Each structure stands twice: as structure tokens, then as C-alpha cells.
Amino acid sequence: MAGSRLRVLVLGGGGREHALVRALATSPECDVFCSPGNPGIAEHATLWPIALSALPELVSTARAERIDLVIPGPEAVLDQGIADALAEVHIPCCGPSRAASQLEASKAFMRRLTAPLGLPAPAFRIVESVEQLAPAIARFDRVPVLKADGLAAGKGVFLPRDAGQCLQLGRQLLDGALGPAGRRLVLEERLSGPEVSLFFACHGTSYVALPSARDHKRLQAGDVGPNTGGMGAVSPSPAIAPTFVERAGSIFVAPTLQALMQRGTPFVGFLYVGLILTTGGPRLLEFNVRLGDPEAQAILPRLAPGELLRLCTATAAPQSAGLAALRLKTLPGATCAVILAAPGYPDEPRLGGTITLDAARLQQAGVTLFHNGTRRVAGTPTLQVSGGRVLTVVGHGADLAAARRCAYRGAAAIDFPGMQRRDDIGLSSSPSGTHPSGISSDVSDANR
């Protein structure tokens, strides 16, 4: 270590990374840095203006600045191999290697890895050519979910209305409509039921659960409209009991970690488990290899001060056999995270609008505010919209109802031209397994 205080670097510049930085800053034992960051993150951390794609510069700067621990936010930088590059210069990383990151970066890899383990999951077929497509579709009783194999920036998962549309979409993807991400497809059995987001910190075969969350993916109230990166989240998830998390860990997480270990690609970092609760029990929809957005904004404020640093250092330590014995300290109550989105989001967000914040009302509401897509006009305090999802307003309360009231009081104190938000985050709504928009909802923020 560089000294008595840990020097921690968070990679990314969205709401998830703001939540990570703020949670780390609650510890008196660390100095926090972030690259590239955003105006909200700048209140808690020293920013580095280095693009995440510039891996050599990130690693060399981390080494020069004597960074003790790196926590990557988005999955793309993990798929690029940041953990491997940091390992070469002996900097611990709370994130998986590029090989282990294939658990998210390739849906075919995930299914091929987990199918022999017998994990409850939808039936699937992998298609690598147009000739294989029609026979694969015919193997399903219902029109299957259609997924591009690779990371597709939110455009890779579809629910065709019939076999003809499935064939048409599949051909377009295989012909390059999404570039390399769609050159291989995964067809999956279509399931219905509420979805659950579970998160675990993992090292090898050891793991510890974080608080659960529920994400609201559709743009409009009532779970209608186009799919998004997430319009809000609540924690804990009202759909499950606490004992369910432990059960899901033993059923889904432990066998997967063991399989990765046996492949010689042990997993280190945060593992997201996306489940759908069917009438026949939970089924595995996907794994992601990092925290979700906006789930992180709901989960991390529920950790006691200093707990995220304790968790991340234990996870990234060279030997973390004791991780399973770690008991995470959480704050009582619940959180509700409401996303404020730009006009035109998610298809063509219009950027540049001026953001108006009523600081007195926000303070009175008692909310936590995370920046997703904002920028500061040079030399002024003026904030502008710079991304599709702009801000996350997080309410805290003794229960979910109180957290919702808090969040929406805070959201009412913010405005910008064309602002979009859902007014039903945290309320019961229809199952999200299917939707007439034609796009599957079983997608995390990276793949929506």
C-alpha cells in the first residue's frame, strides 16, 4: 500500500460510478479517484480525464499515482481486459479477467458454461448461420426470445411477435445489423413472471450477497413503452424474501463460480444474477459481471459507512477465502431510485438542455442525488444534459412507501426541458417477461 490511506480508483462516469464513489467516500480510510467521472462525482473524488478505452494510459497513471485498488464500473472496460492489465503491474482489481467477463460478453458462452451444471434456465439454441436459423426456431413451442450473442449497446434482445418476424430479425442480425455482436445468436424459451436482480461479491468460489433490488426497465408507467437502461429501482426487492437470496446463491452462483474456477478463469468482482420468477420456480436469464445501473444507486446507499471499501478490498485481495464469512452491515429501511431522463430517450436523446435544481427543496426532501449524464458549462455552475439518463433521485425511508414519497418529493425539485420520468417506481406492476413492444425485458443496463 502507498501509505496509511488506501488510494482507490473507480472507472466510469455514470450514476453507478457516482454511487460507488459516494459509498467509498464514507470511509475515512481511503482517498477516491475516478476516471473520467462527472460533475457529481467531482464532489467526492479527484477526476482523471482519461477515456476508458485508453487502457495503457489508465494503467500507467494508476501505477504512477500509487493506486491500491481499482473498481471498474461498466462491463466494456472489463471485456477490454482492464483486470488483466492491472494484474501485470500488481494492482488489485475488483473486477473479473477478460476470460471470466465472457459470462456477460457472450450469451452463448454463458449458456454453454451453465447448461451442464443443471441450473434452472430457459431452453436455448445457439445459431451461427442463416441456414441454422429456421430449424432452430422450429424447435420451440412458442416464438423464442432472440438475442445477439455479444454486447450490443442496448439493442441486442428481441421478442418477435411470430416465427416470420423472428426469422427476419435473425437474418438481419447474422448479416451484420449489429456488427460483430450479432454474428452469433442465442434463441431462448420465452418465459413470463416478475424479474429479480441479485448481486454478489465473489472471489474464486467464495461469495457474499449484497442487498437485493428490483429494476423498472420500461420507459413509461405500467411497464409500457420502449425498453431502457432502467428508469428506476427499489431495494430491497419486494418480490422476494431475504431467504431467497441465500437459496439463489447456492443454486445459481456457487456452481457457476466452481465451473469458472475449473476452467482456470476464477471470477473476482461483482456478479449480477438476473432471474425470472416463473410458476415453476426461478429461472436464470443472465449474468452480468458488475453492478447494475440504476440498481447500484438503490443498493449502495443502504450499506453502512465504510462497508463498500471493506467489501471491495476483501473481494480483490489475492486470497479471499474468508469472503464468504464477511457479514455486510446495512442500514435499516428501504430506498427508491427514480431516473430523470432526457427528451427522446432511449432512441434519440436530445442533449444540451439546462438543468434546474432547487437546492433548498432537495435538502428538505432528504434525497441523495446521483449524476448519470450531466456536464458543467465551463467556468459556470450551470449543469446541462449530456446523456440519455440524466440524474437519479434516491429516496430513503423506513419502508418502501416512505422511500417512494421521499424520492418523488426530491424529483419534483428538478427540471429540464422535455424531462421524462416514471411516476410508479416501486409500485406493483405487470410481469415484465413479455411486452408488445417486441423487445425482451430480460436485459441489464449494458445490453438494453
Which phi and psi angles does 192 have, rounded to 5°?
-130, 150
Q: Are residues 178 and 201 in the same domain?
A: no
102 falls within a domain: no
Q: Are residues 206 and 146 in the same domain?
A: no
Q: Are residues 340 and 357 in the same domain?
A: yes
CATH number at residue 58: 3.40.50.20
10 falls within a domain: yes
Quick one: pLDDT at residue 65?
Answer: 97
52-76 residue pLDDT tens = 999 999 999 999 999 999 999 999 9
Could you tell me the pTM of the whole model?
Answer: 0.91
Among 188, 211, 240, residue at a domain's last position = 188
CATH number at residue 166: 3.30.1490.20
Q: Are residues 287 and 377 in the same domain?
A: no
Among 307, 325, 343, residue at a domain's last position = 325
117 falls within a domain: no
Local confidence pLDDT in tens for the 448 residues of the chain? 445 799 999 999 999 999 999 999 999 999 999 999 999 999 999 999 999 999 999 999 999 999 999 999 999 999 999 999 999 999 999 999 999 999 999 999 999 999 999 999 999 999 999 999 999 999 999 999 999 999 876 668 888 999 999 999 999 999 999 899 999 999 999 998 888 889 999 999 999 999 999 999 889 999 888 878 899 999 999 988 889 999 999 999 999 999 999 999 999 999 999 999 999 999 999 999 999 999 999 999 999 999 999 999 999 998 766 687 789 999 999 999 999 999 999 989 999 999 999 999 999 999 999 999 999 999 899 999 999 999 999 999 999 999 999 999 999 999 999 999 999 999 964 333 333 222 233 333 333 3
289 falls within a domain: yes
Q: Are residues 310 and 255 in the same domain?
A: yes
CATH number at residue 375: 3.90.600.10
Q: Are residues 200 and 319 in the same domain?
A: yes
Quick one: pLDDT at residue 338?
Answer: 98
Say how far apart CA 1 and CA 5 lie, in whole Å: 8
Order of strands across the sheet with 354-357?
A: 374-376, 383-385, 354-357, 414-415
165 falls within a domain: yes
Say how far apart CA 278 and CA 271 lie, in whole Å: 22
CB atoms within 10 A of CB 369: 23
- How many helices and strands in the chain, by DSSP H and E? 14, 21
Q: Are residues 218 and 312 in the same domain?
A: yes
Mean pLDDT for the chain? 92
Q: Are residues 158 and 203 in the same domain?
A: no
288: containing domain: 196-325
96 falls within a domain: no
- Bridge partners of 125, per DSSP, are 187
Among 262, 294, 325, residue at a domain's last position = 325
Q: Are residues 405 and 305 in the same domain?
A: no
Output the CA angle 361-362-365, nearest 5 degrees.
85
Q: Are residues 200 and 154 in the same domain?
A: no
Quick one: pLDDT at residue 320?
Answer: 67
447 falls within a domain: no
Q: Are residues 339 and 319 in the same domain?
A: no
CB atoms within 10 A of CB 108: 18
Residues 6+ apart with CB under 8 A from 60: none
Quick one: pLDDT at residue 40?
Answer: 97
352 falls within a domain: yes
Q: Are residues 205 and 292 in the same domain?
A: yes
CB atoms within 10 A of CB 129: 10
Structural domains counted in the chain: 4
